Amino acid sequence: MTLLSVRNLSLSIGRHPILSDVSFDIGEGQIFGLVGESGSGKSMTALALMGLAPASARVRGTAQFGGIDLLAQTERQMTRLRGRDIGMIFQEPMTALNPMKTIGDQVAETLLVHRAVSRAATRTDAQAVAAEKLARVGLPTDRFPLSLYPHELSGGQRQRVAIAMAIALRPRLLIADEPTTALDVTTQAQILDLLRGLAADEGLALLLITHDLAVVADMARQLAVMQGGRIVETGATEPLFRAPRQDYTRRLLRAAEHRPARRPPARSTDSSAPLLSVEGAVRDYILPRPSAFAPHPLLRAVDRVSFSIRPGESLGLVGESGCGKSTLTRAILGLDPLQGGAIRLGQAPVTAGRTMPAALRARMQVVFQDPYGSFNPRHRVSRLVAEPFHLTGRPPDADRRIAAALEEVGLSAADRHKYIHEFSGGQRQRIAIARALIIRPDLIVLDEAVSALDVRVRAQVLDLLARLQESHGLAYLFISHDLSVVRAVTDRVLVMQSGRIVEEGATEDVFADPRHDYTRRLIAAAPKIPETWKEDADADAD
């Protein structure tokens, strides 16, 4: 039985078409995947179905849902459908809940708004149902009282609250827009399990929107691939992965599995002196006093961590959020002081603040995750890229070097006159790399540097990084929560848990035969496209 039948959904804002003739069907109780890169129109499709598209949007087409056309409903009619027949959850669990209301009240609100169908006449009734629903999503009241506020919960727990709100009235369709993109792999696996269980137990259909092909492969029976506001391909998941009909789908699949061609560092470097050595590094945070005269408790974020990076080597650092990756990174970059141990770059000690000589700082550069937030929007690219010159003094041939750095990362010398908003996310990340390269450092710290990029752009940036490593003999410290990327681009890998390195070894060995329980769990939790599906696609491509 078809639950939702979308036909020729088109949406435009002003004269810009955002969606064109989007058509697909979702059966009762089915998990339907909608995949595509950012800006492909996935989220807008969901918002249009919910009647939550921007006020200036013009929507055409039909969306038959249980005998009514969602696109023809008035706002008043839609408010009755939303939350009752169609639930929706969003990407950012950190901001999706009202920070000023308790989780009990927020779940209960769904019931109270639809009082007529929920039979929850009072706040007490609604709270009772809310407790039941929160228990269903894994937040039992004895451990997670209704009186908790969102800031007292982790990201995964908040996403559970959002799911409880969306399913409180047992809707027939749940739209999940990138529900796990902001979560760690193990949390992602739990949330996906929960969604799968809800679909099976409550007979609820799930429209799963994601950019992650592995997640879809794992979850959805049917899927549609979107590009530029159109559906380019749709069908059953497995056949579509095995034998994609469209070139775009094929490129997307290939990019998701992309491994840049890398030459392993020469064996001879094994014995050479390490470029960076971290010896027993300890980093404590001072927490607020529990009572007025008690001493400050300490949080040990980095606990006696030791490792080294050789010149020209690529070292991966993986672990879930909160494990201490970023704290360690800040110490390595000389931004925060250590409470124990030492970090050396070459022979010189890395120290925090002004005590670290500029010449030493110039040997390390960093590329951050967010290609939007890490540039001053009021400066031209030439000035942005030239920033590291304050460590070395501006050379007489600075202009030539700016142009050369931009060309090295695949941009043109003329781009130096532009402002940062004129570039796409992938181009901005290239500019960040150019900025890191311009003073010829020995080590570049890549802190989730490709995590925010779409698969195809990510593949290109990874290729660029591999090429630059070879040509400049760069060493990389590659920090990521994305295991598949780390596997593709590093020689050795460190696995970090609660401030400690729990496993270390050659990347292939660690992934093929993880020793530590935590590493095993991480690898098991990462969604994968089944190997047997890929061979066909590869064969097709060749």
Partner 1 sequence: MQRFLLRRLVSLALSLLAASLAIFLVIEVVPGDPASYMLGLNASPETVAALRDQLGLNAAPPARYLAWLGGMIRGDFGISYTYKVPVADLVLQRLQVSLPLALYALALTAMLAFPAGLVAAARRGRAADAAVMGATQLGIALPNFWFAMLLVLVFSLHWQVFPAGGFPGWDSGLGAGIAALTLPAVALALPQAAILARVLRSALIETEGQDYIRTARAKGLTRGQTMLRHALRNAMIPVMTILGMQFSFLLAGAIIIENVFYLPGLGRLIFQAITQRDLIVVESVVMILVFAVILVTFLVDLAYAAIDPRLRRRA
443 binds partner 1 (CB under 8 A): no
Comparison of 95 and 246: residue with beta carbon closer to partner 1: 95
Alpha carbon distance 426, 203 (integer Å): 40
Near partner 1 by CB under 8 A: residue from 14, 99, 353, 396: 99
Spell out the residues 6+ positions from residue 85 whose beta carbon is closer than 8 angstroms to its own.
Answer: 65, 66, 171, 172, 173
Q: How far is the CB of 91 from partner 1 (least distance, A)?
A: 9
Nearest to 282 by CA among 362, 336, 227: 336
90 binds partner 1 (CB under 8 A): yes
Comparison of 76 and 354: residue with beta carbon closer to partner 1: 76
13 binds partner 1 (CB under 8 A): no
State the burial class of residue 528 (Cβ atoms within 10 Å of its Cβ: 0-12, 13-18, 19+). middle
Q: How far is the CB of 187 from partner 1 (least distance, A)?
A: 19
Alpha carbon distance 196, 292 (integer Å): 48
Task: Name the one range near partner 1 by CB under 8 A: 19-27, 106-114, 247-255, 475-483.
Answer: 106-114
Comparison of 78 and 214: residue with beta carbon closer to partner 1: 78
166 binds partner 1 (CB under 8 A): yes
Q: Count the helix, strand and coil residues of the chain and give each as a percent rounded to the nearest 5.
A: 40, 25, 35
CB 180 within 8 A of CB 188: yes
Would you list the DSSP string of 57-92? EEEEEEEEETTEEGGG--HHHHHHHBTTTEEEE-S-
Comparison of 81 and 366: residue with beta carbon closer to partner 1: 81
Near partner 1 by CB under 8 A: residue from 7, 29, 80, 259: 80
Near partner 1 by CB under 8 A: residue from 8, 95, 246, 532: 95
Distances (CA, A) of 28 to 200, 205, 343, 387: 11, 6, 58, 56
Q: How far is the CB of 100 from partner 1 (least distance, A)?
A: 5
Comparison of 89 and 213: residue with beta carbon closer to partner 1: 89
Q: How far is the CB of 49 from partner 1 (least distance, A)?
A: 11
266 binds partner 1 (CB under 8 A): no
Near partner 1 by CB under 8 A: residue from 44, 97, 167, 411: 97
Comparison of 13 and 413: residue with beta carbon closer to partner 1: 13
Angle (nearest 5°) at CA 451 between 449 and 454: 115
223 binds partner 1 (CB under 8 A): no
Comparison of 118 and 314: residue with beta carbon closer to partner 1: 118
Nearest to 368 by CA among 335, 416, 411: 335
Alpha carbon distance 231, 228 (integer Å): 8
Distances (CA, A) of 152 to 72, 148, 289, 332: 41, 7, 18, 30
Comparison of 101 and 383: residue with beta carbon closer to partner 1: 101
What count of other Cβ atoms lies within 10 Å of the Cβ of residue 193? Answer: 12
Angle (nearest 5°) at CA 331 between 382 and 275: 80
Comparison of 166 and 356: residue with beta carbon closer to partner 1: 166
Task: Name the one range near partner 1 by CB under 8 A: 74-82, 308-316, 350-358, 465-473.
Answer: 74-82
Tokens in use for 141?
A: 């009241």
Comparison of 103 and 489: residue with beta carbon closer to partner 1: 103
What count of other Cβ atoms lies within 10 Å of the Cβ of residue 442? Answer: 19
Nearest to 81 by CA among 41, 123, 110: 110
Distances (CA, A) of 510 to 248, 266, 498: 33, 20, 19
Distances (CA, A) of 118 to 98, 171, 389, 407: 22, 11, 64, 62
Task: Name the one range near partner 1 by CB under 8 A: 6-14, 82-90, 379-387, 476-484.
Answer: 82-90
Comparison of 120 and 468: residue with beta carbon closer to partner 1: 120
Near partner 1 by CB under 8 A: residue from 19, 34, 35, 81: 81
Near partner 1 by CB under 8 A: residue from 4, 50, 207, 219: 50
Task: Name the one range near partner 1 by CB under 8 A: 72-80, 184-192, 237-245, 469-477.
Answer: 72-80
| # residues near partner 1 by CB under 8 A | 32
Comparison of 106 and 222: residue with beta carbon closer to partner 1: 106
Nearest to 357 by CA among 334, 389, 338: 334
100 binds partner 1 (CB under 8 A): yes
Q: Which of residues 107-136 bind partner 1 (CB under 8 A)?
A: 109-110, 113-114
88 binds partner 1 (CB under 8 A): yes
What count of other Cβ atoms lies within 10 Å of the Cβ of residue 7? Answer: 15
Alpha carbon distance 532, 427 (integer Å): 34
Nearest to 210 by CA among 238, 182, 184, 186: 182
Q: Which of residues 278-337 bind partner 1 (CB under 8 A)?
A: 291-292
Task: Name the one range near partner 1 by CB under 8 A: 77-85, 322-330, 362-370, 455-463.
Answer: 77-85
104 binds partner 1 (CB under 8 A): no
DSSP 3-state of 302: strand
79 binds partner 1 (CB under 8 A): yes
Q: Which residues bind partner 1 (CB under 8 A)?
A: 50, 52, 75-76, 79-84, 87-88, 90, 92, 95-101, 109-110, 113-114, 149, 151, 162, 165-166, 291-292
